[in-house]
């Protein structure tokens, strides 16, 4: 195994990418050599931003030093299958609270039963990003609220454009 890069799959909706997502990504960089941010796309579910918009927003806010180690792609199949296809052996998930834990434990258990080649790793959110959810960011933005405490500035700008 020496010399082999540890690749982690980081799946989610990222609609839009928040400070909470960035927190988990940065923590993940400490345990993985490379991270694939995987945006789930479901034809039935129309988001606020398109896949291309989400990908561009993420790529643009990545610190320069991380760009070579992070890629962004889409998936619409089983997470474990998508992770394997992307040659990832780790599956990153962030935990905010007990509700996340209960749900994530079920998913980790079932994913583990489907594949023993992909290991789920839970990362705890930092105190500042604990309350942040992309769903609330979308709702607040939709009602004209200020989302700047919760998302990077480039996302604030993209949201302002979207609602104008």
Span of 28-36, 108-116, 129-137, 153-161 interacting with ligand ADP by CB under 6 A: 129-137
Nearer to ligand ADP, 63 or 131 (CB): 131
Which stretches does DSSP call E strand in the chain? 7-12, 34-40, 70-75, 90-95, 119-124
Angle subtended by helix axes 51-61 and 153-162, to nearest 10: 150
91 binds ligand ADP (CB under 6 A): no
Subset of residues 4 to 23 that bind ligand ADP, contact rule: CB under 6 A: 12-14, 18, 20-21, 23
24 binds ligand ADP (CB under 6 A): yes
- Which element (helix H / strand E) includes 100? helix 98-114
Determine whether 124 is exposed, middle or buried from the number of CB atoms within 10 Å of its CB (0-12, 13-18, 19+): middle
Subset of residues 31 to 90 that bind ligand ADP, contact rule: CB under 6 A: none
Cβ contact 152:20 at 8 Å: no
Nearer to ligand ADP, 36 or 132 (CB): 132
Q: Which of 54, 90, 125, 152 touches ligand ADP (CB under 6 A)?
A: 125
Q: How many other C-beta atoms lie within 10 A of the C-beta of residue 39?
A: 23
List of residues contacting ligand ADP (CB under 6 A): 12-14, 18, 20-21, 23-24, 93-94, 96, 100, 125, 129, 132-134
């Amino acid at each position: 195994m020496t010399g082999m890069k540890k690749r982690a799959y980081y799946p989610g909706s990222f609609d839009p990418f928040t400070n909470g997502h960035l927190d988990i990504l940065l923590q993940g960089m400490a345990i993985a050599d490379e991270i694939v941010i995987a945006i789930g796309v479901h034809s039935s579910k129309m988001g606020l931003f398109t896949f291309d918009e989400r990908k561009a927003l993420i790529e643009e806010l990545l610190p320069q030093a991380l760009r070579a180690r992070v890629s962004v792609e889409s998936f619409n199949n089983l997470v474990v299958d998508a992770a394997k296809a992307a040659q990832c052996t780790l599956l990153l998930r962030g935990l905010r609270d007990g509700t996340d834990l209960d749900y994530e434990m079920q998913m980790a258990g079932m994913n583990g039963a489907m594949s023993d080649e992909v290991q789920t790793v839970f990362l705890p959110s930092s105190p500042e990003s604990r309350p942040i959810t992309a769903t609330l960011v979308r709702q607040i933005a939709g009602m004209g609220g200020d989302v700047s405490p919760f998302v990077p500035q480039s996302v604030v700008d993209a949201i302002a454009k979207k609602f104008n």
